[in-house]
Amino acid sequence: MKVEAKQEGSKLTLSVSGRIDTVTAPAFEAELKFGDATQVVLDLAEVPYMSSAGLRLLLTAHKTMLASGGELLIANVQPSVREVLDITGFSGILNLV
Amino acid sequence: MTERRNLYVKLACSVLATFLLSFIFSWCLHDGLSKHDAYELIDRTFKNVQDELTDCINERLVRVCMAVRETLEEGYPDDPRSLQTLANEMRVTEISIADNAGDIIRSSVADYLATDARPAFNFAEAGGEAANMMCLVDGSDTEYCQPFRNNAVNNNWRKFVGVWRHAGGFFEIGCDAKALQSLTRSTCVDLFRNWHVGGTGGIVVTTATGLVLSDYEEPNREGSQWIEPDDTFYWKRMEIETFPVYVMIPKGSAAVQRDVLVGSTAILNGAALVFVALLVGFVISAFVRQQMHAQAAKELEMAKSIQLSALPNVFPPFPDENRFDIWASMETAKEVGGDFYDFYFTSKDRVLFLIADVSGKGVPAAMFMMRAKTLITSAAHTGKPLSQAFAEANDALCEGNASNTFVTAWAGELNTKTGRVTFVNAGHNHPVLIREDGKAEFLKTRPSLALGAMAGVPYATNEIQLEPGDEIYLYTDGITEQPDANGELYGDAQLLKTISSCGRYWRKTLLDAVLADVRRHAGNVEQADDCTQLIMRYRGEPFTVTREYAPNMEGLERAATDLAAALEDVPEKLRNRLLVAADEIFANIVNYSGATHWTLSVELTRHPQGVRLVFADDGKPFDPLVRRDPDITLSAQERTVGGLGILIVKKTMSPVTYKRREGMNILTMGTDYES
């Protein structure tokens, strides 16, 4: 899996590609660094599916951003990922755009 | 029914007994009453008869007495002998003359006259009836008649009649019985001819010697000898002024009233009793009917529960099974029909599935069904060929089958490796064979005899080769013989049409579609019989790859890679689901189970296509399916990620099962999809 970061002022866009599961989660976690960005966009357009290992990271990131007064936006969610978010109720917690 | 007939017989008998009792009672009552009435009437009549007869006699005697007075006042020799002569002339017994003081001054009877020893007979002093003659002296009466009585002076029976005397005092004549009768009998003749007593009764007057003077019945009998009435009469005899008088009422006549009363009472009683009996009968039969209804409802419930308890009703019945699918349904009619179905493995690669329909309904059918099911199952479980199992079950069912109940059955045994189905048809409806491409036709073979019909008959075995995706649809005649409002049956053709129109739908969808069409056909007509259906689909042997992995991240990574490669041809959406679900289980095994070995089997099936993933690990026992689902409605701060993986598995995979076997946790999950 790969993560490409793009900073525009206080807005940080992280474009993720590849599955997020137990195998790839450690690498993904290592890339989830937001610096002083107040708005982080996670672009999941290239993520075919995600297991609960990924959900844990998303929840942690979301809570971190909330605590620092910023926001985490999840963009371009694919159907399989969306299904998992719906099943687990995460689509009601995270900011999906 | 017998109990009810007995009840009615008892009821009728008691009604009859009550009727007879009341009849006898009322007859006795009215018989006694009529007798009493008759005698009362007779007594009343006697009073009138006495008055009338006495009047007639008195009148006659007064006239005689007046004739005596006339003769004596005209001047007649004044001595006792001449008085006796006159008495003889006048046909009276004696004549006396009394003065104003009541003393007898002249008499034909010497006893009355004064002698030296005693004074003359004095009426006033004599008292009693004699003193009554004094009314002729004081002028209050001109004539007086005494009744026929004993005369105290000389102890003779006489009737005295007196008339007043112009010179003061009175004349008196006395008549003995004979004289009385001879003087007055003519006045008695026919005196009571028109008198009727109580309808057909009457009065008879005879002479002292028994010659008829007046007869109410036969006037011509006058003068003939009277014979006293027999016991066909209520009667009484009384002597009035020496005349024997009979008042008599024929019993028959007296009984008329009694008969009318008893008759009408009997009719009224009878009617009342019949009414009461009908009412009681109606109430009892209504009660009995209600009891029977309740009983029948209870039996119906019992029969239904027997029937349903015997049938496997959890679907899919073998969740781990990917070589075939079975689905069945039964829609019971109001009255249980004794349908059943069953399916079970007879060996690792052979599954038996059957449907059957017991003749008759209700509890007997349900009981017979239980027996048939047990017999077939136990015979088949011994691994005997199906035809032999059926023959043995048949012989056992025929034993002691007094009610001649029988059961039609169709049973097939699928070899999951080859797709061959060996089957026996014991008089059952031909199943429908649905090919993989959706073409449906009846699987017609010559049926053997129904089970329980005749012992010793052989059961022929037939075979059909199924290709993966082919289906066999079994049903009972509750489906094809459901009538509509015009009595037209649903029929084989319509069944085939409905099944064909279902295309590639199968299992419950097809069963529901058929049932819905049968209901549409029935309209308002009640379901006639149990509607039982079973469908078996052969999927073929799956393509299976099993590999063992190390219980660490390396092993997990290899397993994930292998799985992704194995699922390459699976549609993306399903593949993603499988990969996510598998990742959750991988993580559990590697992170928490403490397993030293674990394997993943990937089974790919065709017709329809499907995937089964079987995870086996030797870690600590852990059934993820019993874990409570996490609360997904909490806010972000409250949420944790615990339990989410299993939730995802449960929501995306079907079926999912867990088993602990031989020290291994075995979790199976999968999904089917149409190509």
Long-range contacts of B27-36 (CB under 8 A, 24+ apart): B27/B258, B27/B262, B30/B257, B30/B258, B30/B261, B30/B262, B30/B265, B31/B255, B31/B258, B33/B258, B34/B254, B34/B255, B34/B257, B34/B258, B35/B234, B35/B254
Per-residue pLDDT band at B504 (split at 50, 70, 90): low
d(CA B469, CA B435): 7
CA-based nearest residue in chain A for residue B589: A22
Backbone angles phi, psi at B107, to 5 degrees: -165, 150
Cα B226 → chain centroid:
67
Contact flag A87-B651 (C-beta cutoff 8 Å): yes
CB contact under 8 A, B583 and A62: no
Contact B583 A93 (CB under 8 A): no
The span from the CA of B325 to the CA of B216, in Å, is 114
Contact B648 A56 (CB under 8 A): no
CATH number for B543-673: choose from 3.30.565.10, 3.50.50.60, 1.10.260.40, 3.60.15.10: 3.30.565.10
pLDDT at B221: 66
| Mean pLDDT, rounded, for B465-487 | 92
Contact B154, B71 (CB under 8 A): no
Report CA B249 to chain centroid distance, whole Å: 53
Q: Output the six-digit token pair for B382.
A: 């011994």
Is beta strand B440-442 parallel, antiparallel or unpaired with respect to B432-434? antiparallel
Minimum mean pLDDT among B29-38, B40-49, B170-179: which range? Answer: B29-38
Q: Going by CATH, does the domain composed of A2-96 fall within 3.30.750.24? A: yes
ipTM given for this complex: 0.95
User: Which tokens hold the place of B239?
Assistant: 């002597």
Tokens representing B271 are: 């009617």
Helix (H) or strand (E) run with residue B471 in it: strand B471-475
> CB contact, 8 Å: B562 with chain A?
no
The DSSP symbol for B542 reads P
pLDDT value for A1: 86
- At B32, phi and psi to the nearest 5? -60, -45
- Domain-by-domain residue ranges, chain A? 2-96
Measured CA distances, B278 to B271, B304, B454 (Å): 10, 37, 48
Buried b (16+ CB within 10 A) or exposed e, B615-630: bbbbbeebebeeeeeb
pLDDT at B172 over 80: yes
Chain B residues touching A73 at Cβ < 8 A: none
Flag if B636 and A50 touch (Cβ within 8 Å).
no
* Contact status, residue A77 vs residue A46, Cβ threshold 8 Å: no
Q: What local confidence, expressed as pLDDT, does residue B674 receive?
A: 67
Question: Residue type at B552?
Answer: N
Whether the pLDDT of residue B219 is over 70: the answer is: no
Residues B153-158: what's their mean pLDDT?
A: 87
Contact list in B for residue A19 (CB cut-off 8 A) is 579
pLDDT at B190: 74
pLDDT of residue B1: 57
Give me the amino acid identity at B84.
Q
CA angle A28, A18, A21 (to 5 degrees): 60
Name the architecture of domain B310-538.
Answer: 4-Layer Sandwich (3.60)
Per-residue pLDDT, averaged over B480-484, amounts to 92
- Measured between beta carbons, the chain A residues lying within 8 angstroms of B671 are none
Residues facing B432 on adjacent strands = B442, B473
The pLDDT score that the predictor gives to residue B615 is 94
pLDDT for the residue B220: 57
Residue B480's pLDDT is 93
Per-residue pLDDT, averaged over B375-404, amounts to: 85
Lowest mean pLDDT, pick from B56-65, B201-210, B320-329: B201-210
**d(Cα B49, Cα B77) in Å, to the nearest integer?**
41
Query: A83, B577: Cβ pair inside 8 Å?
Result: yes
Please state, in angstroms and rounded to a whole number, the distance separating the CA atoms of residues B648 and B576: 12
- Class level of CATH domain B2-181: alpha beta
Q: Measured between alpha carbons, how far is A80 from B246 in angstroms, rounded to an integer?
A: 132
Query: Which of A48, A56, A94 is facing B641, going by the closest CB pair?
Result: A56
Triad B550, B551, B552: Cα angle to 5°: 95
pLDDT of B620-674, one tens digit each? 998 988 888 888 888 877 877 778 899 999 999 988 999 999 999 999 998 888 6
pLDDT at position B392 over 70: yes
d(CA A13, CA A31): 12
| Mean of pLDDT values over A18-22 | 94
Q: What is the pLDDT of residues B534-588, one digit of tens each?
A: 999 998 888 888 999 999 999 999 999 999 999 988 889 999 999 999 999 999 9
List where CATH 3.30.565.10 sits in chain B: 543-673
Block residue for tokens 């509750």: B478
**Cross-chain Cβ contact B587/A53 below 8 Å:** yes
The count of C-alpha atoms lying within 13 angstroms of the C-alpha of B103, restricted to the half-sphere facing its C-beta, is: 8
In angstroms, the CA B291 to CA B285 distance is 10
- When comparing pLDDT for B283 and B674, which is higher? B283
From A22, A80, A94, residue closest to B577, measured CB to CB: A80
CB contact (8 A) between residue A50 and residue B590? no
- pLDDT digit string, tens, across residues B404-444: 889 999 999 999 999 999 999 999 999 999 988 888 999 99
Interface test with A, best of B570, B574, B577, B580 (most A CBs within 10 A): B580
Scan residues 564-593 of B and list those with Cβ closer than 8 Å to A: 572-573, 576-577, 579-580, 583-584, 586-587, 590
Rounded-to-integer distance, Cα B538 and Cα B606, Å: 10
Task: Grade residue B472 by pLDDT with cuts at 50, 70 and 90.
Answer: very high
Structure tokens belonging to residue A85: 């978010």
Q: Supply the pLDDT for residue B505.
A: 63
Least confident span in B100-109, B576-585, B600-609: B600-609
Q: Which residues contact B651 (CB under 8 A, 6 or more apart)?
A: A87
Size of interface A-B (CB pairs under 8 A): 76
Residue B451 pLDDT level (bands cut at 50, 70, 90): very high
Cβ–Cβ of A22/B556 closer than 8 Å?
A: yes
